Amino acid sequence: MSDIHAGLDDRMTDKQKELLLLKVATGITVTYAVAAIVIALASDSQAMLLDGLYSMIDIAISFISIYVVTKIHQPPNEKYHFGYAKFESFMTAVDGLLLLALCCVTMITALQDLIHPDPVKHIEVIVGFAFISIFVCLGMGIFMRRAGRKWHSEVLLADSQLWLIEGSVSAGICIAFSIGMVMQHVPGWEQYTAYIDPLACIMIALAFIAQPIRIIRESFHDLVDACPSDEIRNRIFNKCEECRRRLKLDAVKWFRLRKAGRRLFLTVCFTAPDHPPLKEFTLMKRDIVRALNEVEPELDACVVFDSVENETSPPRRLLAAKRGFEMSPA
């Protein structure tokens, strides 16, 4: 019991750190978004407006993330029998949809500006702001990605992606408008500086439209209970096989694994050669669950046993980790 309490204490500590980091990141994002939108309105730059709107989406996602983190650590209840783990997957799906919508709207607006370009004012201010933003955003993105991997937080990993994209957007804006500054001092090229802004928007949107699509795809897999990656599945299945050999069980009869946010849910059935006492089964279950949690601390495992002569089986049986799933006869 002391080990269990120690694990819970560590988890609560990680939760508090996670919430604190999200709140700090939200405060920085609010400051950044306000500054970007003010500069965009003063300079009449669509690229800076894109940057500011991107930050506004990041703010909305950050507030949702804070709420999600407070929920996902709560235990299951009568309404949510498997806890709140899927809240995390749902949040990242919303994140991806908002980013995809922003990329599409940006490209449409930028194409309209290419037809009727407007000169951008205060280019020096834009370049200076974007240059500083590169280091702030990339620094926050790298820091949050490390924290997300350490604490197995899908929320922090998703937010780190937003910061890294923000830093890359700032780099694109800085490079594009630096070229515009040079063109202003080249005779005959001044008239083309008005096209820098919409072209920068289109290139930035095209460069990062794959990111929200990837986020949506991964979140969808979690929401429909798809099996996690081969790496995760094989690691857990190999541990099940190791437990089977150590406990002298016959086989892994079937194996069900799904992912919801940072949580993994496993139901695995072992075949036993005889009928040992119930107490022995209980001890084996505890041993297997403890071994699996050493491999995946966020794994919620349900272990069941069946006799060799019992022909009743689920509709599918895992033959081998590399071969995947195969239908068994009814």
Residue 20 to residue 121: CA distance in whole angstroms: 38
What is the three-class DSSP state of 85?
helix
> On the CB side of 132, how many CA atoms lie within 13 Å of its CA?
8
Comparing CA positions, the residue from 257, 251, 304 lying closest to residue 273 is 251
Q: Which helix or strand (DSSP H or E) is residue 312 part of?
A: none
Q: Which residues are registered as beta bridge partners of 305?
A: 270
pLDDT tens string for the chain (330 positions)?
A: 444 334 434 445 677 788 888 888 888 989 989 999 999 888 888 888 888 887 888 788 778 878 887 887 788 888 888 888 888 888 888 888 888 888 888 888 888 888 888 788 888 999 999 999 999 999 999 999 998 888 877 778 878 887 888 888 888 888 888 988 888 888 888 778 888 888 888 888 887 788 888 888 988 988 888 888 888 899 999 999 999 999 888 888 889 999 888 788 999 999 887 666 777 888 889 999 999 998 888 888 999 888 765 544 444 333 333 333 333 333
| Torsion angle in degrees (nearest 10) through CA of 47, 48, 50, 51 | 130
Q: What domains sit in the chain, N to C, each tagged with a CATH number?
A: 2-223 (1.20.1510.10), 230-327 (3.30.70.1350)
User: How high is the pLDDT of residue 310?
Assistant: 55
| pTM exceeding 0.95 | no
User: How high is the pLDDT of residue 242?
Assistant: 92
Comparing CA positions, the residue from 50, 60, 56, 48 lying closest to residue 31 is 56
**Cβ count within 10 A of residue 11:** 14
Q: How far is CA 164 from CA 105, 161, 171, in A?
A: 21, 5, 11
Residue 44 to residue 39: CA distance in whole angstroms: 8
Residue 209 to residue 119: CA distance in whole angstroms: 26
Which tokens belong to 273?
A: 């050669």
DSSP H helical ranges for the chain:
2-43, 46-72, 85-115, 123-151, 154-184, 196-208, 210-223, 230-246, 278-295
